[in-house]
Structure 1
Amino acid sequence: MTGQFAEHIAAAVLEQFADYRSRFQTISAAAQLRFEKADWHAIQKAGAARIDLYEDNSEEGARAIVEQLGEVVYDARLWHDAKRCYALKIQQRSDPELAETFYNSIYLKVFKHHELDDAHMFIRSAYEGQPIRSGADFCRLYTTQQGLVALLGKLLDDYAFNIPWENRRRDIRSLARYVREQIPSIDISREDVSVEVMRSVFFRNKGAYIVGRINYTSGAMPFILPVLHNGEGAVYVDTLILDENDVSIIFSFTRSYFMVNVDVPSEFIGFLHSLIPMKSKAELYSSIGFYKQGKAEFYRSFLDHLEASNDQFTIAPGIKGMVMTVFTLPSFPVVFKLIKDRFSSSKNVTRATVKEKYRLVKRHDRVGRMADTQEFTNFLFPRNRFAQELIDELQKVAGSSVEVDGDLVTIRHLWAERRMTPLNIYIDSALASDNEPDLFHAINEFGKAIKQLAAANIFAGDMLFKNFGVTRHGRVVFYDYDEIMYLTDCNFRRIPEAMYPEQEMSGEPWYSVGPNDVFPEEFSILTACNARVRRIFNELHGDLLEAAFWQGMQDQVRNGDIVDVFPYRKIKRFARSTILPGSDYS
């Protein structure tokens, strides 16, 4: 009888997983049509819907199994046999690592995130270090035997959309000139140069991205070719990204997930990782929409890192938060965030509200300015990596979430997030070292981050420097979400003039303040810390102190405008002037 139940569980989980993958691929496959129609709102809705798919299918699968099997489903021994049956069923699939993770999700939902045991679930994957090889050619190969121009022309033809190129000749000319300027060390006329290009195009927001690698005698370099819609039924090449750091930024943890057709995920990720090895496989899985697989890969890499290191966890650098407490392992580039038991009296939020804010960010367009996170329940840490001082601090501020039992520390609920340098620390360092370029850059990035979030209908709420971080690429990113809200839900007002001096001198406002009222003039307190900071901020982003700016952004959002926020600098974009007379590009 146990074997019959185990077989039932394995078959039910696989059926639900297959349905999830089919629906996931259907949404992803329609990305090109949405791009060609310039249906930007549909793109955003599809992104959120695809994220919801995983929870919907795993919840449905867990609920059905419990209903069908009754109390016997809670016999952990049954799941040992179910895991074995399931492992056999997924052997011939092209996505077995994703199938394992889906099984884990259903198991955890049934057992409410308890009974964590590799005997009953796939804590370690059977496919770790063994990428699946499909035998299919998922890349196109080009050579320079007929010259660079011929190569570029063939590439644009192979990746033509169902709408025309705005100016194919111009784009080929721009690309050829850029290649010769940026990589003069490669002698295309003499060297044996080849170009591998992934057949699947990556779609995100308003862009389509053609991804590949240039191979030459002494090495290789990644490249990305962004293609944009001109709003008039045609497309054009916007630029060519060749620098590995710039390629990495396009796959940033601060961006929405790509829509891309993926038949063999591990093979696909393996190629991407060879292009940008600085990106972990966990980040790459997440970047193409498999965020649960990214979570699984992250956890396994974390376990491996614990075995290979011996440093101690510590409270993360920066000013302590009023809602979250944050700790980190110095040798691992991640912070762990958990909700405090009690909040500062100035914070009008609940634990449920905080969780909802983080889910909002997960589903929303992050425009390169909000950090992605991985949410965990009952996360286990080795007790010997925690100093007693840290244990005391965690139990003091978040005791309901922390359990110490023998050799383990269990955090009942937390988020893992890429570690960044807190903006306040970055600014203080620039001031102390009198580094004007770094100071200017940080303040400018801070203002741009706020504006780009506003364009995406996000009001950050608490905009103190301590709530922003600086990535290794120098981008300023928002990471404290407990007070975010939709921009269109805010009521931006000017502070009314005081009717008499006593009102202005009063410690209390002389005007009514509604729950969603925001007074941008008060943002001046953000830069009150230093005259140089205030001067730079006012010069670059003084409009953030005016209610009219915010009201204008609200009008833009309500009108349905979606602002272009691309993951590369404007200076890199090609000019779109007409092609010069006499050109031989065709």
Structure 2
Amino acid sequence: MTTQWGQRIATSVLEGFANYRSTFTYITLGAKKRFEEACWLDVQQASMDRINLYDDAVAAVTDCLTEEVAQGYDSLSVWKEAKRCYAALIRSRTDGELAETFFNSIFCRIFRHYEIKPENLFVFSTQPKVKAADEASIILSYRPAFGLVKMVDRILVDCNFNIPYADRRQDVVNIIRTAQQQLGFVFADSKDMEIDIIRSVFFRNKAAYLVGRIRIRENTKPFIIALMNNEQEGIYVDALITDPDEVSIIFSFTRSYFMVDAPVPAAFIAFLQDLLPWKQRYELYNSIGFYKHGKTEFYRDFVQHLTKTDDQFVIAPGVRGMVMIAFTLPSSQTVFKVIKDNIAPQKEVNKETVKKKYYLVKMHDRVGRMADTQEFSHFVFPKARFHPELLAELLAEAPSVVRVVDDSVIIDHLYTERRMIPLNLYIKDATEQQLEAVLDDFGNAIKQLAAANIFPGDMLLKNFGVTRHGRVVFYDYDEICYLTECNFRQIPPPRFPEDEMAAEPWYSVGANDVFPEEFAIFIFADVRIRKCFTDLHGELFAASYWQRIQKVIRENQVVDVFPYRRKQRLARRLS
């Protein structure tokens, strides 16, 4: 009977996974048409729909198992057999690692993350390593046998768009000229040069990307062509990116997930790691939309990291939060965040509100300015790795979700996030040149968030971080809201001289009222820094600026936010 039930469980799980993958692929493949037809609002909706698919699929399979095999579906012996049967069923799939994660999700939903052992589920992957044939199946290779012009033109034609290029000849010239400027002698009519491009086009927001590499002898460089649709004349090449750091920003954890058809996900990841060797596998799986498997990869990396290190988890650097306890392992690049049971009264939020805010960020276009987070349940840590001060704070501030069981610390709900330098600490140690650059980027971050209909709420410097690329990123979401929910007002002039001296304002203040004139004083205590920021982005202190952005959003205009610097955009003739 155990074998029979195990087989039924395995079959049900695989059927649920196949349905999930089918719908995921259907939404993903629709990205090409949405790009061609410039349906930008549909792009945003499709992105949200796809994110919700996984949890819905897991819930459906779990409900099905509860009904179909109620007599033994929660027996560990049955699930050991189910795992064995499932491993055999997925052996021929090209997305086996994703199928394993789906099985794990079902198991953890039923057993509430207990009994996580290799004999019960796929703690470690059983999938074979990527073969050369797997990688070959996902790429198109080009050589300049008949010259650079014909080769580059072929790359653009092979995208198979159903609308024309606005001026393909100019695009080809721009690509060759820019490549030669950036790469020098590497990009030439050489029999040693080869360009490999992933067959599937990467779509995100209002752009499409051709992702590949240039190989010449032992040297490899990334090669990304950014395409836009101007909605009147057709498609055009907007940028060519060959610098590894710039490519890394395009695949940043602060960006929305790409829509890209990946029939062999592991081969895609292997190719991308060749371009970005410093990026972790889980980050790359996240970037192409498989963020649930990204969690699996993260957990595996985390377990391995613990075996190779001996430092302790400590409270994360920066100002202590009133809503979250943030802690980190100094040897890692991850911050763990736990919602406090008793949130400070000046913060008008509760636990459920905070969770909704984090969900909003997960679903929304992050425009390169909000850190992606991963949500975990029943995360198990070794108790010995916790600094006593941190463990005491966790038990005191979040006892409903933190408990010590034998030699383990179990946290029932937490978020993980990439560690950055808090902006207030970065500014403290910055040179004059660094200060001006980071303040300029801080202003750009606020503007780009606004363009995406996001208002940070609490814009204090401590709520923003600085990445290794020097980019400013927002990461504290407990007061985040849609920009269109705010009522931006100018402070009315005082009625009498005494008004300015009064303890209370002489004007009414509604629940959603925001007075940008006050930003400068609240954000920048240091007058010198305040003046520097005002010189760079003084318009942010005027209610009229924010009202103009709201008007654009309410007219359903989707603003361009580029994942590369504007000076990298290629010049082109406009009719």
Q: Write the distance in 2 (CA, Å) between the matches of 1:335 and 1:68.
A: 41
Counterpart residue identity of residue 531, structure 1: V
Show the counterpart of 2:340.
340
Show the counterpart of 2:222.
222
| 1:173-217 deviation digits (Å, cap 9, x = unpaired) | 111111222212427245511111111100000100001110112
**1:159 partnered with 2:159:** yes
Higher alpha-carbon deviation: 39-48 or 110-119? 110-119
Q: Number of residue pairs matched?
A: 575
SS at match of 2:398: helix
**1:37 partnered with 2:37:** yes
Show the counterpart of 1:241.
241
Change (3 A) 1:577 1:489: same
Q: Write the distance in 2 (CA, Å) between the matches of 1:534 and 1:71.
A: 67
Show the counterpart of 2:361.
361
SS at match of 2:24: helix
SS at match of 2:505: coil
Whether contact under 8 Å (1:163, 1:233) holds in the other structure is no
1:304-453 correspondence runs (5 A) = 304-430=304-430, 435-453=431-449
Show the counterpart of 1:281.
281
Show the counterpart of 1:168.
168
Q: Write the distance in 2 (CA, Å) between the matches of 1:214 and 1:93.
A: 30
Show the counterpart of 1:571.
567
Show the counterpart of 2:503.
507
1:131-146 correspondence runs (5 A) = 134=134, 137-146=137-146
Q: Write the distance in 1 (CA, Å) between the matches of 2:23 and 2:420.
A: 35
1:117: Cα distance to partner? 2.8
Whether contact under 8 Å (2:213, 2:221) holds in the other structure is yes
| 1:490-532 deviation digits (Å, cap 9, x = unpaired) | 1111222232233322222232222211111121224432122
Counterpart residue identity of residue 103, structure 1: F
Q: Write the distance in 2 (CA, Å) between the matches of 1:384 and 1:509.
A: 52
Q: Write the distance in 1 (CA, Å) between the matches of 2:17 and 2:353.
A: 30
Show the counterpart of 2:486.
490
Q: Write the distance in 1 (CA, Å) between the matches of 2:48 and 2:321.
A: 29
1:237: Cα distance to partner? 0.7
| 1:292-327 deviation digits (Å, cap 9, x = unpaired) | 011110110111111111111111111011100101
Show the counterpart of 1:147.
147
Q: Percent identity?
A: 52
1:42: Cα distance to partner? 0.4
Q: Write the distance in 2 (CA, Å) between the matches of 1:509 and 1:58.
A: 52
Counterpart residue identity of residue 526, structure 2: N
Counterpart residue identity of residue 42, structure 1: D
| 1:54-104 deviation digits (Å, cap 9, x = unpaired) | 111111111111122225322222211111111111111111110011111
Show the counterpart of 2:458.
462
Change (3 A) 1:531 1:19: same
Counterpart residue identity of residue 69, structure 1: V
Q: Write the distance in 2 (CA, Å) between the matches of 1:273 and 1:187.
A: 22
Aligned with 1:471 (options 467, 474, 480): 467
| 1:349-401 deviation digits (Å, cap 9, x = unpaired) | 01011111111110100000000011001111111211222211221222222
Q: Write the distance in 1 (CA, Å) between the matches of 2:138 and 2:172.
A: 24
Show the counterpart of 1:67.
67
SS at match of 2:511: coil
SS at match of 1:70: coil
Show the counterpart of 1:554.
550
1:177-196 correspondence runs (5 A) = 177-186=177-186, 188-190=188-190, 192-196=192-196
Whether contact under 8 Å (1:527, 1:533) holds in the other structure is no
Show the counterpart of 1:584.
none
Counterpart residue identity of residue 88, structure 2: L
Counterpart residue identity of residue 397, structure 1: E
Q: Which runs of 5+ in 1 are unaligned?
A: 580-586
Whether contact under 8 Å (1:373, 1:417) holds in the other structure is yes
Q: Write the distance in 2 (CA, Å) between the matches of 1:219 and 1:395.
A: 52
Show the counterpart of 2:521.
525
Whether contact under 8 Å (1:66, 1:110) holds in the other structure is no
Q: Write the distance in 1 (CA, Å) between the matches of 2:69 and 2:86.
A: 17
Whether contact under 8 Å (2:324, 2:337) holds in the other structure is yes
Q: Write the distance in 1 (CA, Å) between the matches of 2:397 and 2:129.
A: 40
SS at match of 1:389: helix
Whether contact under 8 Å (1:444, 1:537) holds in the other structure is yes
**1:12 partnered with 2:12:** yes
Counterpart residue identity of residue 489, structure 2: R
Counterpart residue identity of residue 288, structure 2: I
Show the counterpart of 1:582.
none
Q: Write the distance in 2 (CA, Å) between the matches of 1:309 and 1:132.
A: 33
**1:77 partnered with 2:73:** no
Whether contact under 8 Å (1:131, 1:270) holds in the other structure is no
Change (3 A) 1:499 1:135: closer
Q: Write the distance in 2 (CA, Å) between the matches of 1:227 and 1:149.
A: 18
Q: Write the distance in 1 (CA, Å) between the matches of 2:573 and 2:143.
A: 29
Q: Write the distance in 2 (CA, Å) between the matches of 1:482 and 1:133.
A: 47
Q: Write the distance in 2 (CA, Å) between the matches of 1:123 and 1:578.
A: 55
Whether contact under 8 Å (1:37, 1:233) holds in the other structure is no
Q: Write the distance in 1 (CA, Å) between the matches of 2:369 and 2:185.
A: 35
Counterpart residue identity of residue 549, structure 2: M
Q: Write the distance in 2 (CA, Å) between the matches of 1:135 and 1:440.
A: 44
Q: Write the distance in 1 (CA, Å) between the matches of 2:192 and 2:110.
A: 57
Aligned with 1:540 (options 528, 536, 542): 536
| 1:201-246 deviation digits (Å, cap 9, x = unpaired) | 0000010000111011241101100011012140011111000111
Show the counterpart of 1:51.
51
SS at match of 1:474: coil
Change (3 A) 1:486 1:128: farther
SS at match of 1:31: helix
Counterpart residue identity of residue 102, structure 2: F
Counterpart residue identity of residue 542, structure 1: G
Counterpart residue identity of residue 558, structure 1: R
1:560: Cα distance to partner? 0.4
Whether contact under 8 Å (1:191, 1:217) holds in the other structure is no
1:258: Cα distance to partner? 0.4
Counterpart residue identity of residue 3, structure 1: T
Q: Write the distance in 1 (CA, Å) between the matches of 2:183 and 2:550.
A: 44
SS at match of 2:413: strand
Q: Which runs of 5+ in 2 are unaligned?
A: none
1:38: Cα distance to partner? 0.5
| 1:453-474 deviation digits (Å, cap 9, x = unpaired) | 1111111101100000001111
Q: Write the distance in 1 (CA, Å) between the matches of 2:574 and 2:153.
A: 18
SS at match of 2:563: coil
Higher alpha-carbon deviation: 148-157 or 474-483? 148-157
Whether contact under 8 Å (1:17, 1:102) holds in the other structure is yes
1:128: Cα distance to partner? 6.9
| 1:547-578 deviation digits (Å, cap 9, x = unpaired) | 11111111111000111001000001111127
Whether contact under 8 Å (1:170, 1:578) holds in the other structure is no
Q: Write the distance in 2 (CA, Å) between the matches of 1:52 and 1:375.
A: 14
Whether contact under 8 Å (2:313, 2:329) holds in the other structure is yes
Q: Write the distance in 1 (CA, Å) between the matches of 2:361 and 2:132.
A: 33
SS at match of 1:410: strand
Q: Write the distance in 2 (CA, Å) between the matches of 1:546 and 1:168.
A: 43
TM-score for both structures, normalised by structure 2 = 0.97
